[in-house]
Structures are given as C-alpha cells and as structure tokens.
Amino acid sequence: MAFSAPYEKAAGLRQGTLPIWQNRVIIDVDAFAHNVREICRHVGPDVELIAVVKDDCYGHGADILSPVALENGADVLAVVNIDEAIALRSSGITAPVLILGITGPAQLDEVPRRGSMTVLCQLDIARRLDEAARKVGAKVPVFVKIDTGMGRLGLRVDEVDDFVSAVRDLEGLSVEGLITHLPDADEADKSFAYGQLDVFNEIIVRLRGTGLELPRNHIANSAAITEMPDAKYQMVRAGIILYGPHPSAYVKESPDLRRVMSFKTPIIYLKRMMRGETVSYKREYTVPVDRSVIATTPVGYRHGYLRALGNRAEGLYRGKRVPVAGVVCMDMTMFDLGPGADAELGDEITLLGRDGDDEIIIDELAERAGTITYELMTGLGMRSRRYYISGGEVFGEEPPPGHRLIGE
C-alpha cells in the first residue's frame, strides 16, 4: 500500500501529529512472526502447530497474518466456521484449514469443495458431510470432538465408541484424530485439566485397540502449550499466545512472546477547564486543578474501548500517563492532560502499546475493565483502521470491516 511521504511517517509507530484524524490499530507483523517461531521452538519439531486465526486473527487481520503464520512454522490454520475458511481460500491460502465450530446442513457442501478439515460430534451432520464429499470425489479429514469437561461442543465420553464406529464406515470421511478442550488450563490449579488428559488418553488407547490409527490428536490450547508438556500429543492449538499476551496471570512459563497490537487515537478538540468543573455523562469526573487541558479523542465503546474503562484507564501522552476523564462515550473519550500540557490538535494518545519508557499492555486494560484480554483485543482490532508494520515501516492498511470513512 503506497502512502504519501508525510502520511507514511505519521502512520508508523512514532508518535506525532496526524494529518488525518482517525483511530488506528498498529499490527507489528515482525512480532507476530517471532511469536510463531518461538511457539514452534517451544513445542518441538515433531508436533504440528495449529495457528488459531479465527475471528479475523483475534482482530489482527487474518488475510495479512495467516500467510505469516505459515511462513514461520505453522502447519494448520484454524477458523471457527466455513465462512472464515472460504475467506482464507479466497485470499490464496492453500494450506490445511481446520473448522473448529459446527457447520450447518446448508453449507456442508462447501467443506469438501474448499478442501477443509472439520470437527464432528453429530452423526446426522457426519452422514450429510459424507454425502457431500462423495459427490465431489473427496475425502474430508475430520476430528472427533469429545466433551471432557468444557460443556460446550462434543460427545459425552460414553457416546464416543458408537459415534466413531459409525463414522469410520463413511467412505467420504477420514478420522484424523480426537480433539477436546480445556476450560481452566489457565488457572493456577490444573488438577481438572490433568484429569481431562487422563480421560483423553484412555479414549485414544481404547480406540487404537480397535485398529483406528488416530495419528493427529490435540488437546493443548495456549495455556497448556506453555505449562502442560504432557498435553502436546501430535498437534497443539495456539491462540492468544500468537498475539503476545499470556493466557492469564497464572500462566508464567510462556515462550518469549512479543506484543503485536498497539492502539492510538488523535486529539480532535482541546479546552482548558477549571477546578471543580465536570466532564462527560453522569458528571463523574471532576477537574482537580485550574486550567487543566482536557483532550477529546474520537474513540469510544463503539470502537471497542469499553465503557467500563471510564475513570479507570489511562493513556500515554508524550511518554506520560494521563487519566481517562469521565465516562467513555459511544464515539468519544476525554483525557486530562494536566495544566502544563502544550498539546496540539492531531497529537496522538496511546491507549495500548509503548510510548517512551512506559507501556500500556492489554492485560492492564482488561483488569481495569473487569474483563479478559480476548474481549478487548477482538473489539479494538475489528473496529478501527489497521496499519501493518515491518521493520518499523508501514506496508499496508485495512479499513474496519463493514465501515467506510467519510470522504472515502
């Protein structure tokens, strides 16, 4: 993507005055590539890495980062539904794609047509998928989903044998392995997760005793990859750790990870306010000193900057922390820059990422909002214009999905 000279400089990581006043998400592609390589090193060469790129790479941009994941060691890309699989194929991806969710009857024909793998836990869906595969002369690799404690998708343990017996006779399907999910591997107490491993092991041994090979089983999510080496099996599924954060505060033994996403917003209005005056809805923020500079920015809860961050979060302005002043609005948020600020319209405030010697990480924002990093990351990443950098320079941009900026 070509930029004019002043715009290219403004769109990089360096804080400056923006000629176009808009929020921007900055995706560090080099950091993402580093994380993929580190995870591959951590799990070893004999374990296949499934890179979870669902929900537009957690808001980072699947069309840009999916090829990067493959170039740096990922073996399989995982999505949540057939529409995401189709999008990857349409972008030129030819590598294996695994659908982690349920594909409804009306779209089952697309699974073999797009050369996708999928999970299965419903016999009627399995039979329909078999018909769809045989119609085009394909054989769809499938993973049997077992519920060992998540309570979401998957067969109950006592249903597995009959289901597998029925599916292995379907000519259009090839049972690659088993899959289950760990609901609390990111907690300090992993006893339940280890109990799930025991159940998973028993099922694999029992089914292999019937002559089924099951060459590609997987249970490990990001937390298990980092802290449960017995959960590696033949494949692992890396999600949140691809993008930099730890799965939770209890997971400390991660590989060397780098943060991929930053988020910046420009100042669009400035005013000096006097001590005792109030800012935003409900008048919950009171200006503490005379002639404080209140900066209004065009970011709000519509852009994924949650309302719960009002009066709790901070931004970074010229390397110093400045508080959110009042309730976060739908499209605007105010910051108190203090009485000595010599601010200009178009100056940026960093809401996520580094400025100078300080950094706001998404774990901090999530804690202050009373939520998890996943919710904040996907919200921020999917609602503002994204800029992709490598070597500190911008090489591409994407508008927020389904949104057109005024004047474009």
* Cα distance between residue 318 and residue 347, in whole Å: 9
Residues 372-377: contacts with CB under 8 Å, at least 24 apart: 373/240, 373/245, 374/58, 374/240, 375/306, 376/304, 376/306, 377/58, 377/59, 377/60, 377/240, 377/243, 377/245, 377/261
Query: What are the φ/ψ torsions at residue 119 (nearest 5 degrees)?
Result: -90, 155
Do 16 and 70 share a structural domain? no
Q: Determine which of 108-117, 296-305, 353-362, 377-386 has the lowest per-residue pLDDT on average.
A: 377-386
Residue 253 lies in a domain: no
* Average confidence (pLDDT) over 172-193: 96
CATH code of 216's domain: 3.20.20.10
| pLDDT exceeds 80 at position 404 | no
Q: How confident is the model at residue 51, as a pLDDT? A: 98
Q: Report pLDDT digits (tens) over 266-292.
A: 999 999 999 999 999 999 999 999 999
SS3 per residue for 312-327: CCEEEECCEEEEECCC
Q: Does residue 101 share a domain with residue 72?
A: yes
| Region of residue 194 (phi > 0: left; psi between -120 and 50: alpha; otherwise: beta) | alpha
pTM beyond 0.85, yes or no: yes
- pLDDT tier at 397, thresholds 50, 70, 90: confident
Read off the tokens for 178: 């088993």
The strand ranges marked E within 2-95 are: 24-28, 48-52, 76-79
Instruction: Give residue-wise pLDDT tens across range 190-221.
Output: 999 999 999 999 999 999 999 999 999 999 99
Predicted confidence (pLDDT) at residue 101 exceeds the cutoff of 90: yes
The catalytic residues are: 54, 281
What's the domain count of the chain? 2
Residues 233 and 333 in one domain: no
| Cα separation, 118 vs 291, whole angstroms | 60
Please indicate, yes or no, whether residues 50 and 194 belong to a single structural domain of this protein: yes
- The Cα angle at residue 402 between residues 398 and 408, in degrees rounded to 5: 65
Q: What proportion of the chain, given as a percentage, has pLDDT over 90?
A: 87
Among 48, 13, 36, residue whose Cα is nearest residue 244? 36
Q: What pLDDT is attached to residue 10?
A: 35
pLDDT of residue 407 exceeding 60, the answer is: no
Poorest-pLDDT segment among 66-80, 243-257, 366-380: 243-257
* Domain, as residue range, for 275: 5-22+260-398
Residue 293 has pLDDT above 60, yes or no: yes
Q: Is residue 375 part of a domain?
A: yes
Between CA 202 and CA 274 the distance in angstroms is 69
Measure Cα distances from 154 to 116, 143, 151, 296, 299 in Å: 19, 11, 8, 48, 40
Which 3 state secondary structure label does DSSP give 257?
coil
Structure tokens at 327: 């309730």
pLDDT class of 237 with cuts at 50, 70, 90: very high
The answer to whether residues 179 and 270 belong to one domain is no
What band does 350 get if pLDDT is binned at 50, 70 and 90? very high
Give the mean pLDDT of 395-401.
81
- Provide the pLDDT confidence category of residue 3 given band limits of 50, 70 and 90: very low
Residue 118 falls within a domain, yes or no?
A: yes
**Does residue 1 carry a pLDDT above 50?**
no
Provide CB contacts within 8 A for 101, sequence distance 6+: 80, 81, 119, 153
Question: What tens digit of pLDDT does each residue of 8-52 get?
Answer: 333 333 444 445 678 999 999 999 999 999 999 999 999 999 999
Q: Looking up tokens 């420009």, which residue turns up?
A: 266
Same domain? 280 vs 382 = yes
Q: Specify the pLDDT at position 408.
A: 33
Rounded CA-CA distance 220/291 in Å is: 55
User: Distance between CA atoms of 346 and 20, rounded to whole angstroms?
Assistant: 8
- With 0-12 / 13-18 / 19 or more C-beta atoms within 10 angstroms meaning exposed / middle / buried, residue 266 is buried
Whether 12 and 44 map to the same domain: the answer is no
> In 10 A of CB 231, how many CB atoms?
22
Mean of pLDDT values over 249-273: 90
Instruction: Assign 398 a pLDDT band (cuts: 50, 70, 90).
Output: confident
Percent pLDDT > 70 in the chain is 92
- State the Cα–Cα distance between residues 70 and 135, nearest whole angstrom: 30
Phi, psi dihedral angles at 350 (to 5 degrees): -90, 120
Same domain, residue pair 285 and 205: no
On whether residue 166 sits in a domain, the answer given is yes
Tokens encoding 219: 């249970």
Does residue 104 form part of some domain?
yes
What pLDDT is stored for residue 401 in this prediction?
A: 64
Q: Is 128's pLDDT higher than 90?
A: yes
For residues 293 and 3, the model is more confident at: 293
Q: Does 88 have pLDDT greater than 90?
A: yes
